Structure 1
């Protein structure tokens, strides 16, 4: 699953350069020249892993935009771009809750390094062992264990299982799963998702407390007794 970057940069030339370079580094970039377009997304699923905000933007400056984002998305990782490189900018950004800043024009390689370092610090590590009802999942070995037998998961099966666990007890939209794990949404990937869901149901048959329920036309609702 690619890291999704929210890029707020009103300079069309610099924004395009950043977007293209980050995509070459295998990031997925949503570039916004108008920060007001980002505000309208704050009450949605907001599928981003990190934000890169230019400080000097029209209508809404980077600091104000950061405050709006963090009010709705607590602890969302942010990196500021500043052209002035002044001490007051750096202090203000850190006070608001930014994880880092970099002066423009920036070295793209340094920017990528800073992004990866922020993600390492802020993204929780996947536990090596997860207890799911009567089952135990070893995420390093991709091994789902049960007293009546073990199953070696594929990478995709484990990715889907971890995504469902992350959204345990909530309604999970099909489109969100496809966009986050398959990074595409068409008939064939939809059918592939159904196959993987059927496999997971089969793997968990030995514990009736575990439920993966289909919601017609919407997605799924899961109940995993995790300890």
Structure 2
């Protein structure tokens, strides 16, 4: 049974989300603010965190940054009344995986939680299946119809990062820092060029996935039905 930590200073919200997720079979842990969450985190080691932004003592942004220092792969869903694009950018840059604005529909919250947990299982693997290809980090190759296809290393790392959590939006800064490093001094267009090369190598009508530009944020990979 997957454990989920709900971090919110609003008792009603914690109880509401807790009841919804318990009905789906999840084990629930609660924290009233960021400091409380960090104190409990290593003890309970949740599979996923649902975090509010505006909280006393330590807000959601700072909590996300602290979690990411030692737990890069645990999915984080930010649940907040702050729905402006600048708030979303700040959240994604801080390490969140998804964003849901209050008020929210119970069914959407449950669907997003389940989707994040599915992505987490994919992210912990060194082999990712997307569309009609397999991206294998053990051999640094892309496999399509039983045939290995080697691509340049930076393109491979970019594809693997996007494919590991399909549907997740990565900011430009997150992608550049992860693939080229914090001290990258090249042009921002480098990322765009690599994305366009991947699009050319893997046309969506043949490989059943696409890399979507999220205006004002960055990119995400979507698997086509």
Residue 33 of structure 1 corresponds to 32
Alignment of 1:188-227 (within 5 A): none
Query: Does residue 11 of the first structure (1) align with residue 10 of the second (2)?
Result: yes
Q: Supply the distance in 2 between the matched residues of 1:26 and 1:110 (Cα, whole angstroms).
A: 16
Q: Which has the higher helix share?
A: 2
Query: Does residue 96 of the first structure (1) align with residue 94 of the second (2)?
Result: yes
State which of 49, 52, 55 in structure 2 corresponds to 1:54. Answer: 52
Question: Contact 1:82 / 1:89 at 8 angstroms: preserved in 2?
Answer: no
Residue 111 of structure 1 corresponds to 109
Q: Supply the distance in 1 between the matched residues of 2:44 and 2:29 (Cα, whole angstroms).
A: 11
4+ aligned runs moved over 2 Å, structure 1:
44-47, 124-127
Gaps of 5+ in 2: 126-225
Residue 222 of structure 2 corresponds to none
Once the two structures are superposed, what CA deviation does each residue of 1:53-96 show, in whole Å capped at 9, x if it has no partner?
00111111101001111112122210101102111111111112
Q: Supply the distance in 1 between the matched residues of 2:106 and 2:82 (Cα, whole angstroms).
A: 18
Query: Does residue 21 of the first structure (1) align with residue 20 of the second (2)?
Result: yes
Question: Contact 2:48 / 2:76 at 8 angstroms: preserved in 1?
Answer: yes
3-state SS of paired residue (2:15): helix
TM superposition shift of 1:35: 2.4
Question: Contact 2:49 / 2:75 at 8 angstroms: preserved in 1?
Answer: yes
Q: What TM-score does the superposition give when structure 2 sets the normalisation length?
A: 0.52
Question: Contact 2:53 / 2:59 at 8 angstroms: preserved in 1?
Answer: yes
TM superposition shift of 1:34: 3.1
Question: Contact 2:50 / 2:78 at 8 angstroms: preserved in 1?
Answer: yes
Q: What TM-score does the superposition give when structure 1 sets the normalisation length?
A: 0.52
Q: Supply the distance in 2 between the matched residues of 1:125 and 1:83 (Cα, whole angstroms).
A: 29
TM superposition shift of 1:125: 8.5
TM superposition shift of 1:27: 0.9
Alignment of 1:158-169 (within 5 A): none
State which of 75, 78, 88 in structure 2 corresponds to 1:77. Answer: 75
Question: Contact 2:3 / 2:48 at 8 angstroms: preserved in 1?
Answer: yes
TM superposition shift of 1:49: 0.4
Residue 66 of structure 1 corresponds to 64
Change (3 A) 1:125 1:36: closer
TM superposition shift of 1:33: 1.3
How many corresponding residue pairs? Answer: 125
Gaps of 5+ in 1: 128-227
Q: Supply the distance in 2 between the matched residues of 1:57 and 1:97 (Cα, whole angstroms).
A: 18
Q: Supply the distance in 2 between the matched residues of 1:14 and 1:77 (Cα, whole angstroms).
A: 20
**Which has the larger Rg?**
1
Q: Supply the distance in 2 between the matched residues of 1:27 and 1:117 (Cα, whole angstroms).
A: 14
